[in-house]
Amino acid sequence: MESENSYWTENLRLILICLAIWFVVSFVFGILLVEPLNEIRMGGYKLGFWFAQQGSIYVFVALIFWYTSKMNKLDKKYKVEEK
């Protein structure tokens, strides 16, 4: 039972980290800080516009791969990986 609780605690911690990063990138950078970020140019486009249109999607896809990698390691650590 102890190991099951530890597994789910670590799993929820990873999920919360992913959600926090996604929130910051999509809401904070894409909406709240769009005006200050628009002062910076990236590839000819305003950085705030880039975060709102594409940046949050790229970060979301990267988070999927990061979460998958971390969960595979967590599954091996607690010996619950799929065969």
Per-residue pLDDT of the chain (83 residues; tens, 9 = 90+): 778 899 999 999 999 999 999 999 999 998 999 999 999 998 888 998 888 888 889 999 999 999 999 999 999 999 988 87
Q: Identify the CA nearest to 73 among candidates 81, 61, 62.
A: 81
Q: Which residues contact 65 (CB under 8 A, 6 or more apart)?
A: none
- pLDDT for res 16: 98
- pLDDT for res 13: 97
- pLDDT for res 55: 86
